Amino acid sequence: MITLKDLPVEEYYLPGNAACSGCASALSTRIALKILGPKTIVVIPACCASVIQGYYPKSPSKVPIMNTAFAATAATASGIVAGLEVKGRKGITVMGWAGDGGTADIGIQALSGAAERNEDFIYICYDNEAYMNTGTQSSSATPRGAKTTTAVMGKGERKKDVPEIMIAHDLPYVATACAAYPLDFAEKVSKAMKLKGLKYIHLLSPCPPGWRFPTEKMVEVGKAAVMTGAWILYEWEGGKYTLTGPSKGLIDKAKRRPLKEYLAMQGRFSKIPEAEVEALQRDVDSKWEAMKKKLGA
Amino acid sequence: MIIATGNHAVSYGVRAARAEVIAAYPITPQTQIIEKLAELIQSGEMRAKYIRVESEHSAMSACIGAEACGARTFTATSSHGLAYMSEMVFWAGMGRFPIVMAVVNRTLAPPWSIWNEHTDMLAQRDSGWIMMMCGSAQEAHDTTVMAYRIAEDERVLQPVMFGLDAFSLSHTAENLELIDQEVADGFLPPLNPESLPVYMDPDNPVTFGNLLGPDKMMEFRHLIKEAFGRAKGVIEEAAKDLSNATGRKQHGLIEDYRSSDAEVVILAMGASSGDCKDAVDILRDEGIKAGMVRVKTIRPFPGEEIASSVRGAKAVAIVDRDYSYGFGGIIGREAASYLSKKPLNYIAGIGGRDITVEDFRKIAEDALASAERGELGIEKWWGMRGFEG
């Protein structure tokens, strides 16, 4: 169990970068790199994280970063792993850091390929549930009902469940996390770091400008996502699901806060019809029913 | 001496060059290249890591990642595969990763076609890659090794792709002299990671490829322009050194065949250049002073070298197995901009139609007759048949 005191004081992702105030991606990159340490190579495709690095010749990163094209995170990371292997360069962790568009949409083919080959790197999808870098267009990870610039009345389709897709690849380790629970996330990164093969972590990253909530509310919104059950924190390892963090106590529906509390915090769900809120609540409930079966509970 | 297809000649070249990471995706007619490499690796005859990627886009992405860690990389593709890879082809060129790629030149669909045409590779001509075209299986083998020397030369540090015509070169078995491993090792030193423009090293961390404003981009691109300026000399030097090392005449920028006193010169490219040479010999026997110049290197474009070789000719016939719609034959148009006299541009062999010895002979005669009538600067689609016949 990682506590705040266990997190290294050393910083590898520095302040003064170009992230928006309250950015969950920048914060979580900082946490992940504290765990992974200096012997890390990060691969970043086109996404918010490519902009967060700011302008050449400056960089907030104390570890090497390989920027690559939108669809290419997992393939570029595969090449890096192979290059390190053939050159006998041991003890270096490779981490892909991609958004939901670069993971659930344009990058899923390369990710699936790398997963099938079980390439030895950590892939973290920071999921802000839309194309935020280009101004909040819908992605397949955008939840139903959320308004985006390409779904002005709210998206009609449900969110693609990428962690389940990755589980279907029978990886050594799959986990979900939320930027509002950095220690839970740190624990998962730490676990992933010790395993060989492709480790996948799907990190919910509340986005102040995209989800339309005040910048200081990022942690509150993230906590609400978990406490209402809209986002479930779990690990999957060796065919077994385990709930983590506050999600452990939320199997009983009565323990979960009503979903509308989470929705009400965000402008992207403003003026959502009551019937739609009920439908979304049913989505959450059925997701938990499915999780209960997976847990054997 | 062995008998090998153009494709296998490339595979043996990759082995001689000691490529360390190969990432590839199958496409007809490139498959033999990667099958042979997979076999060589799996049988232990070659020490390399083969990444079985799920697409050409990923093949080039993986080569870029491996190259950034100091590994010598290779991939091969063709036609649709190259088009699908295109985003990463530019990434490799603009990022200055000295990757080597074989392109088995094939027509782009629709309609589906697996036969040869050069448009696939030429469509990538502004991607920052050095581009070469081979004329024989032997040249494909030798060029594979030469490509690494050029790409990794510290005066260049740009990727190199070289083409071989689908089937007429890729699948035709010819006599092949393999480059001895000691000869290859003497010609091609190991890749020096310190020389790489991009090297991923946690002990010396750099951020590669983050945002660059308009205030510096021109200077970055100018570095590539300068590398291409130096590349001409490096290519000629590599060809000379490999000629000496192998005892076989290697061509760098162009191949000049009987053109010094020619009144008609055919500018050709790729495998059909062998037939073109036969046509030149026949014409010479008939008393017509014909010659051929073959474009070996497409980027950097050997415009001055071509101009110098065809200077005395009455007629220059440029044969393009490619086309830029709304513009013309790509090599024809590019070469024309260097010539004082307008050439004739023959569009031939599109979609893999044969260009025979007889075709080249007639093209030369046609060009000469046209020049005598003062009809220059004309484009002709050679051997059109109509849809009814």
The average confidence (pLDDT) of chain B is: 97
Which of A62, A86, A110 is facing B205, going by the closest CB pair? Answer: A62
With b for 16 or more beta-carbon neighbours within 10 A and e for fewer, the B295-307 pattern comes to: bbbbbbbbeebbb
What value does the mean pLDDT take over residues A48-61?
Answer: 95
What value does the mean pLDDT take over residues A226-253?
Answer: 98
- Return the bridge partners of B256, or none: B293
CA distance A157 to chain B (A): 28
According to CATH, where is 3.40.50.920 located in chain B?
Answer: 254-381
- DSSP letters, B56-125, are HHHHHHHHHHHHTTT--EEEEE-HHHHHHHHHHHHHHHHHT---EEEEEE-PPPSSP--S--SHHHHTTT
What value does the mean pLDDT take over residues B2-31?
Answer: 98
Q: Which long-range contacts (CB under 8 A, 24 or more apart) does A287-292 make?
A: A287/A229, A287/A232, A288/A229, A288/A232, A288/A250, A288/A251, A288/A253, A288/A256, A291/A232, A291/A234, A291/A241, A291/A243, A291/A251, A292/A251
Q: Read off the DSSP letter of residue A4.
A: G
Largest CA distance in chain A: 60
Chain B's closest residue to A81, CA to CA, is B66
**The pLDDT of residue B373:** 97
According to CATH, where is 3.40.50.970 located in chain B?
Answer: 2-246
Would you place residue B389 in the very low, low, confident or very high pLDDT band (cuts 50, 70, 90)?
Answer: low
- CB-CB under 8 Å, B23 with A78: yes
**The pLDDT of residue A1:** 85
The CATH code for residues B2-246 is 3.40.50.970
The structure's pTM equals: 0.98
Give the C-alpha separation, B86 to A2, whole Å: 44
Residue B373's CB is within 10 A of a number of other CB atoms, namely: 8
Termini Cα distance of chain B: 45
Cβ within 8 Å of residue B26, ≥6 positions away: B34
Give the C-alpha separation, A231 to A223, whole Å: 9
Chain A and chain B share a number of CB contacts under 8 A equal to: 166
Residue pLDDT, tens place only, A58-92: 999 999 999 999 999 999 999 999 999 999 999 99
The CATH code for residues B254-381 is 3.40.50.920
Q: Read off the DSSP letter of residue A22.
A: T
Judge contact between B81 and B107, C-beta under 8 A: no
Give the C-alpha separation, B8 to B6, whole Å: 6
Give the C-alpha separation, A167 to B324, whole Å: 47
Residue ranges with strand state E in chain B: 2-5, 21-23, 49-51, 73-77, 100-105, 130-133, 160-165, 173-176, 207-208, 254-257, 264-268, 290-295, 297-299, 315-320, 344-347, 379-381
Which of B54, B71, B212 is facing A82, going by the closest CB pair? Answer: B71
Judge contact between A236 and A163, C-beta under 8 A: yes
Would you place residue B387 in the very low, low, confident or very high pLDDT band (cuts 50, 70, 90)?
Answer: confident
The CATH code for residues A4-295 is 3.40.50.970
pLDDT at B97 over 70: yes
Q: Which residues of B touch A67 (CB under 8 A)?
A: 207-210
pLDDT at A54 over 80: yes
Residue pLDDT, tens place only, B240-276: 999 999 999 999 999 999 999 999 999 999 999 999 9
pLDDT at A297 over 80: no
Q: Which residues of B touch A79 (CB under 8 A)?
A: 21, 23, 51, 61-69, 73
DSSP H helices in B100-213:
119-122, 137-152, 181-187
Cα–Cα distances (Å) from B22 to A73, A232, B46, B60, B192, in that order, read 18, 40, 11, 10, 18
For residue A38, the number of C-alpha atoms closer than 13 Å in the C-beta half-sphere is 10
Domain ranges (residues) in chain A? 4-295
What value does the mean pLDDT take over residues A244-258?
Answer: 98
What value does the mean pLDDT take over residues A130-146?
Answer: 97
Judge contact between B29 and B69, C-beta under 8 A: no
Q: Give the pair of three-digit tokens for residue A10.
A: 């050393």
CA distance A187 to chain B (A): 23
Give the C-alpha separation, A176 to A184, whole Å: 10
Which of B73, B91, B216 is facing A69, going by the closest CB pair? Answer: B91
CA proximity to A167, closest of A229, A101, A105, A112: A112
Would you place residue B388 in the very low, low, confident or very high pLDDT band (cuts 50, 70, 90)?
Answer: confident
What value does the mean pLDDT take over residues A82-109?
Answer: 98
Residue pLDDT, tens place only, B135-145: 999 999 999 99
Residue pLDDT, tens place only, B291-330: 999 999 999 999 999 999 999 999 999 999 999 999 999 9
CA proximity to B200, closest of B71, B88, B73: B71
Judge contact between B66 and A80, C-beta under 8 A: yes
CA B21: distance to chain centroid?
A: 21
Contact residues of B toward A, CB < 8 A: 20-21, 23, 48-49, 51-55, 57-59, 61-71, 73, 87-88, 91, 193, 198, 200-202, 205-213, 216
pLDDT at A55 over 90: yes
Would you place residue B171 in the very low, low, confident or very high pLDDT band (cuts 50, 70, 90)?
Answer: very high
- CB-CB under 8 Å, A56 with B61: no
Chain A's closest residue to B18, CA to CA, is A86
Give the C-alpha separation, B350 to A234, whole Å: 57
Cβ within 8 Å of residue A256, ≥6 positions away: A227, A228, A229, A250, A284, A288
Q: Is A174 exposed, middle or buried (0-12, 13-18, 19+ CB in 10 A)?
A: buried
Would you place residue A226 in the very low, low, confident or very high pLDDT band (cuts 50, 70, 90)?
Answer: very high
- Return the bridge partners of A240, or none: A237
